[in-house]
Chain A
Amino acid sequence: MQKQTVVVRFCGDSGDGMQLTGNMFSSLSAILGNEISTLPDFPAEIRAPQGTLGGVSGFQVCLGNGVYTPGDKADVIVAMNAAALKVCTLGSKFNVAGARFDEAESMFKKDAVVIVDTDSFTDKDLEKALYKTDNPFTELGIPETVQIVPVALTQLTKESLKDSGMDNKAILKSRNMFALGVVCWLFSRPIDKAIHFLEGKFAKKPALIAPNVKVLTDGYNYGNNTAMNINTINVEKAEDLEHGTYTSIAGNKATAWGLIAAAHKCGKQLFLGSYPITPATDIMHELAARKDMGVMVVQAEDEIAGVCTAIGAAFAGDLACTSTSGPGLSLKSEAVGLAVMAELPLVVIDVQRGGPSTGLPTKTEQTDLMQAVYGRNGECPAVVIAASTSANCFQYAYEACKIALENMTPVILMTDTYLANGTGLWKLPKLAELPEIHPQGVPEELKGHYNAALRDANSVRYWAVPGMEGYEHRNIGLERDSKTGAISTNPENHERMVKARQAKVDQVANRIPELTVQGNAASDTLLVGWGSTEGHLHAAANELNCALAHFNYINPLPKNTAEVLRRYKKVVVCELNNGQFATLLRSKVQGVDFKQYNEIMGQPFAVERIVEHVKAL
């Protein structure tokens, strides 16, 4: 069976290793020439009780040619236990009594292939997953068009490893590798490539290589030899990709590496002050491991200290960053205001999650937009930009550093759970090919006359740092005199300073790319989005044969924003919140009737829902 794209979903207990399995399959597919987009989907609990509905962890990947999203619904499901089968079948209705398969809700299509571990459907398993009968397939109403592939994963894995000397617990943990072997067979993945890949994965734990290779191979052969009554699937290779060297990368790692690249480009020390918070913590993990690149990480005592240590490092002349999620951004607000007032370069990364308050820590949402743009006391403008794919988190993290250092302003970089944990293909850059970064400095002639209010023709404050002789000065969070830099409460001076800080942020619009239109630019319908929804909106625009304007620059907006938006009759702002960007656009762009499509379910968009909604407008 030949397919352009295929969606595979691995799901099981949060201890079943589904994230690892999914990541390995995705990377393997990418190495074999497919485009990929992944969506890890796991519960907030580290280990919910085994076998329960609350503990189901999923990993979805779309692979093939022309991949923009991890896919709405799966073509192939691997369900490691009864609870996973139920959650995949019923989707968000998984805990509704008597719910049955409904294609609108289900995580898989009505002609999907569903591989299940038959050993994980004992009476006890069914009871834990709250089944009422002993026939889960009938009870869930799974239609006959769905092809169920029963595999005795547990028994087969035990058999495979019976001579390995491993204990029973370790053997059971290897079930995922058997499943991976079966899936590799299903997708005609050459087993030698898979083995080679696995050897690389476990290079640092050589004792684990042999047993994992054995289970993987046995799983593969099981598929091959038992004459499974299903057709193998051939997925098209990527065709339109720019030729080059690629890797697959998660958004958080790409973000971290973007910061490192910027620091190396401009020769400044990279400093991260941060405090652990889901889903941003991997940025700190990645940077803490990169001491070889000279990165300094302070795991601070709280979110406020995270941003404040960074502000200290910025004051002292570093490329300073802090990483957080929505609740942490709230805690950092006052300090970000200090960086605005002190006019220091600072990169604040907000990996958005479901809110408000603690909200949905592991789920995705775009609900911090207004907080990033306006959530501080006083007239307090900061630059806000947003990454739109896992891989371009690198580009926008780099860009955030460049804007901050060249314009002496805090830059808030918005990503979210979907980008942070999802992976995509990334074409490896060369440092020499990345845009130059020219951090703001201070003219020699100001030696002996410098103060913290002096700025250049673009309204960008000059930057002198401790250690420079003859530039001693006092910086402050209080209002300063526009000429002397001393504390001032003069009314005219305050208004002048408010306008100077605003002018500085506004002129960044001259330094960013103009807004472009994707898809059918001649259509009278324009989808508008920002941040992580680009893939979904791109796919929806293709299906609708309409245009898409996708924003990576939120504050300031690209200069041609109004001009582009006014060209279209029907403008639909699609976002994973209650209409925050639409509200922002209404305040900035006159003469456009902005319509909205919003979802706030903690999940990425489904392309088909966008299409359906826009058609109905």
Chain B
Amino acid sequence: MEAAQFKSDQYVRFCPGCGDHAITAALQKAMAEIGIPTHQTVVISGIGCSSRMPHYLNTYGFNTIHGRGGAIATGVKTSHPELTIWQMSGDGDCLAIGGNHFIHEIRRNVDLNICLFNNRIYGLTKGQYSPTSPKGFVSKSSPFGTVERPFIPAELVMGARGTFFARTLDVDMPNTVDCLKKAQQHKGASVVECLVNCVIFNNGTHNWIADRETRAERSIVLRHGEKMIFGTNKDKGLALDYSEVMPRIIVVAADDPRVLTHDAHMQDPALHRMLALMGQEKFTDMQNAELQPELPIALGVIRDVEAETYDEAVNRQIADIRGKSKAQTFDQLLGTLEQWEM
């Protein structure tokens, strides 16, 4: 299929320069490469800039209410597991007002592809801090800096026993397309954290790695089965240092025999969590804004493990019990009641 088949006739109203434009294009490309027809694809969203996405895709779409996209998507997928469901959400919609639905769709492992657009700001309400804004962040609703500790989305996903987590950058089209395709291939709740720039209210929030000059030095794209190597000259690798009580990730030379090979399918989330948290201290507190983390920011598919999906389990249980039941029709069900003539 062609990406154009997934474009709707609606004029795309994201601000000029917004990272959401790039994700829209990547999503259309990924959907075309995946090849599931438009009428079997459903895109569900809540409220926020990113939640406008369904309007720009020529699939079935439902732009719902603030924070509830996850619960509505759960209903669609569970009742109709044959459909492919994408959920579009932002750091406010997903992690603040919709936080409860987010952790529970992950816990249940509903087979959904969840795009979490993280720009660390509320854009559509014009510039308030979000649950991913660093502590001390100055915004319209925090004129003296926030006093709140932010979420790190990956940590929340793994805390909810998530089976898939990937991270990508709006300006990195190939990796975004790759992460979206792998999210679709994964059976279960797949979370793709899309680091997007808000050109109006939080311009440059991801510059540390978005900057083309330094990106290769400051980030690593993890690929299952491949060595963890990064750097402009591919001269650095990641290894585990066991010299202290808790192992920690260190940077070594690319040819060091200790360089790790990425295993996204490992059930134990400990290393996935460590990889996902690399360099995140820079973004959790404004005091660390000038910090130059030694470890690169992890991009790509960090975790991708198998587990039974909720929608499958619900439907299988119904089929099993219905198969064994003597009563199949409503009249037969009535026959099971204690009854008498009057």
Q: Which residues of A contact B (CB under 8 A)?
A: 27, 30-31, 33, 200, 238, 241, 243-247, 257, 260-261, 264-265, 269, 271, 273, 290-296, 298, 300-302, 304-305, 308-318, 320, 334-335, 337-338, 342, 425, 428-432, 466-478, 486-487
Cβ–Cβ contact A309 & B321, under 8 A? no
B55 within 8 A of A: yes
Q: Quick one: given A245-B341, A291-B322, A474-B61, are A305 and B79 in contact (CB under 8 Å)? A: no
18 contacts between A and B (CB under 8 A): A246-B341, A257-B333, A264-B329, A264-B330, A292-B322, A300-B71, A308-B64, A308-B75, A309-B71, A312-B71, A312-B77, A316-B83, A428-B334, A428-B339, A429-B334, A466-B83, A474-B8, A486-B10
Pairwise interchain contact A292-B342, C-beta atoms closer than 8 A: no
Cβ contact within 8 Å between A305 and B322: no
For the complex of A and B, 9 pairs with smallest distance between CB atoms? A312-B75, A309-B75, A292-B325, A308-B71, A474-B61, A305-B71, A313-B79, A312-B72, A291-B321
User: Quick one: which of B8, B73, B75, B330 has the most chain A CB within 10 A?
Assistant: B75
Closest CB in chain B relative to A427 CB, distance in Å? 8
What is the size, in residues, of chain B's interface with A at 8 Å between Cβ atoms?
A: 55
A241→B327 CA distance, assembly (Å): 29
Docked-complex contact A425 and B76, CB < 8 angstroms: no
Let me know if A312 and B79 touch, CB within 8 A: yes
Q: Please, which residues of chain B bring their CB within 8 A of the CB of A431? A: 329-331
Taking CB atoms and an 8 Å cut-off, the chain B residues in 36-76 that contact chain A are 37-40, 42, 44, 54-55, 58-65, 68, 71-76
Is B318 part of the contact surface with A, judged by Cβ < 8 Å? yes
B contact residues around A320 at 8 Å (CB): 75, 79
- Residue in contact with B55 in the complex, picked from A308, A468, A487, CB distance below 8 Å: A487
Within 8 A of A (CB), among B306-326: 314-315, 317-318, 321-322, 324-325
Q: Does B135 contact A (CB under 8 A)?
A: no
B332: shortest Cβ distance to chain A, in Å? 9
Residue on B nearest A311 in the bound complex, by CB: B72
Chain A residue nearest to B11 (CB atoms) is A486
Given contacts A311-B72, A312-B75, whether A305 and B338 have CB atoms under 8 Å apart is no
Q: How far is the CA of A473 from the CA of B62 in the complex (A)?
A: 8
Which has the most chain A C-beta neighbours within 10 Å: B39, B64, B329? Answer: B64
B58 near A472 (CB under 8 angstroms)? yes
Residue among B55, B78, B314, B328 facing the most chain A CB atoms (10 A cut-off): B78
Given contacts A33-B342, A291-B317, A470-B39, contact A317 B62 (CB under 8 A): no
Chain B residue contacts of A302, Cβ below 8 A: 100
Tell me which of B10, B38, B318 contacts A291 (CB under 8 A): B318
Cα distance A290–B322 in the bound complex, in angstroms: 9
Contact at A475–B339, with CB atoms within 8 Å?
no
Whole-angstrom distance between the Cβ of B181 and the nearest chain A Cβ: 21
B161 at interface, CB cutoff 8 A: no
Contact B72 A472 (CB under 8 A): no
A247 near B58 with CB under 8 A, answer: no
Tell me, in angstroms, the Cα distance from A320 to B58 when the chains sit together: 26
CB <8 Å contact, A31 and B340: yes
Contact indicator B74/A298 (Cβ below 8 Å): yes
The answer, yes or no, to whether B270 is at the interface (CB within 8 Å) is no
Q: Which residue of B lies closest to A487 (CB)?
A: B55
Residue of B with least CB distance to A337: B65
Q: State the CA gap A467–B82 with chains docked (Å).
A: 9
Residues of chain B within 8 A (CB-CB) of A487 are 55
Chain B residue nearest to A290 (CB atoms) is: B333
Is A296 within 8 A of B42, CB to CB? Answer: no
Question: Closest approach, in angstroms, between the C-beta of B278 and any C-beta of chain A?
Answer: 31
8 Å CB contact of A260 from B65, B78, B80, B333 = B333
Q: Judging by beta carbons under 8 Å apart, are A200 and B44 in contact?
A: no
Closest Cβ–Cβ distance, residue B70 to chain A (whole Å): 8
- B60: nearest chain-A partner, CB-CB: A466
Q: Are B100 and A298 within 8 A (Cβ)?
A: no
The distance in angstroms between the C-alpha atoms of A296 and B339, with both chains bound, is 27
CB atoms of A309 and B39 under 8 A apart: no
- Complex contact B62–A342 (CB within 8 A): yes
Specify the chain B residue showing the minimal Cβ separation from A271.
Answer: B79
Decide if B215 is an interface residue (CB 8 Å cutoff).
Answer: no
- Complex contact A473–B60 (CB within 8 A): yes
Say if the beta carbon of B104 comes within 8 Å of chain A: yes
Contact B39 A468 (CB under 8 A): yes
- CB of B318, distance to nearest CB on chain A (Å): 5
Residue of A241, A271, A429, A474 most packed against chain B (CB within 10 A): A474
Who on chain A is nearest to B56 by CB? Answer: A474
Q: Contact at A310–B338, with CB atoms within 8 Å?
A: no
CA distance A429 to B335 in the complex (A): 11
B337 on interface, CB distance cutoff 8 Å: yes
B187 within 8 A of A: no
A431, B314: Cα distance in complex, Å: 27
A466 touches B40 (CB 8 A): yes
Given A245-B340, A294-B322, A316-B79; 19 other pairs, CB 8 A cutoff:
A244-B342, A264-B330, A265-B330, A291-B317, A291-B322, A294-B318, A298-B78, A301-B71, A305-B68, A305-B101, A428-B339, A429-B334, A432-B331, A472-B38, A472-B39, A472-B59, A474-B55, A477-B63, A486-B55
Q: Would you give the shortest CB distance from B77 to chain A, in whole angstroms?
A: 8
Chain B contacts with A in 158-217, Cβ cutoff 8 A: none
- Given A241-B342, A291-B318, A430-B331, do A305 and B74 touch, yes or no (CB 8 Å)? yes
Give A238 to B342 CA distance when docked, in angstroms. 8
Q: Is the CB of A315 within 8 A of B62?
A: yes
Cβ-neighbour of B321 out of A265, A292, A315, A338 (below 8 A): A292
Cβ-defined contact, A315 with B341, below 8 A: no
Instruction: Return the chain B residue nearest A248 by Cβ.
Output: B338
Complex interface: chain A residues within 8 A of B74 (CB)? 298, 300, 305, 308-309, 312
- B328: chain A residues at CB < 8 Å are 292
Q: Are B76 and A474 within 8 A (Cβ)?
A: no
Given that A308-B71, A312-B74, A475-B61 are known contacts, is A293 also in contact with B39, CB under 8 Å in the complex? no
Contact A301 B101 (CB under 8 A): yes
Known: A313-B78, A315-B62. A469 touches B71 (CB 8 A): no
**Which residues of chain A are near B330, meaning CB under 8 Å?**
260-261, 264-265, 293, 431
Give the one of A33, A247, A315 with max B CB within 10 A.
A315
A308: chain B residues at CB < 8 Å are 64, 68, 71-72, 74-75, 101
Cα distance, A357 to B324, chains bound together (Å): 43
Q: Which residues from chain A contact B83 at a C-beta distance below 8 Å? A: 316, 466-467
Taking CB atoms, residues of chain B closer than 8 Å to A243 are 341-342
- CB neighbours (8 Å) of A241 from chain B are 342
- Which residues of chain B from 268 to 303 have a CB within 8 Å of any chain A CB? none
Q: A241-B342, A247-B337 are in contact. Are A334 and B79 (CB under 8 A)?
A: no
Residues on the A chain within 8 Å of B58, using CB? 472
Distance in angstroms between the alpha carbons of A318 and B76 in the assembled complex? 9
Contact, CB under 8 Å: B339 / A312: no
Considering only CB atoms, which chain B residue lies closest to A237 in the complex?
A: B342
Q: How far is the CA of A616 from the CA of B26 in the complex (A)?
A: 76
Neighbouring B residues of A466 by C-beta, 8 Å: 39-40, 42, 60, 76, 80, 83
Q: Which of B60, B100, B317, B337 contacts A428 (CB 8 A)?
A: B337
**Contact: A312 with B44, CB < 8 Å?**
yes
Complex CA–CA separation, A294 to B37 (angstroms): 28
CB distance A318 to B79 under 8 Å? Answer: yes
Among residues of B, the one whose C-beta sits closest to the C-beta of A34 is B342
Given A296-B318, A471-B39, are A317 and B75 also a contact pair (CB < 8 Å)? Answer: no
> In the complex, A476 Cα to B52 Cα: how many Å?
10
Chain A residues with Cβ below 8 Å from B331 are 430-432
Give the docked Cα–Cα distance between A293 and B78 (Å): 17
* B104 contact set on A, CB distance < 8 A: 300-301, 305
With a CB–CB cut-off of 8 A, which chain B residues contact A425?
342
Q: How far is the CA of A241 from the CA of B10 in the complex (A)?
A: 62
- CB within 8 A of A338: which of B37, B61, B64, B79? B64
| CA gap between A257 and B78 in the complex, in Å | 22
Contact A296 B78 (CB under 8 A): yes
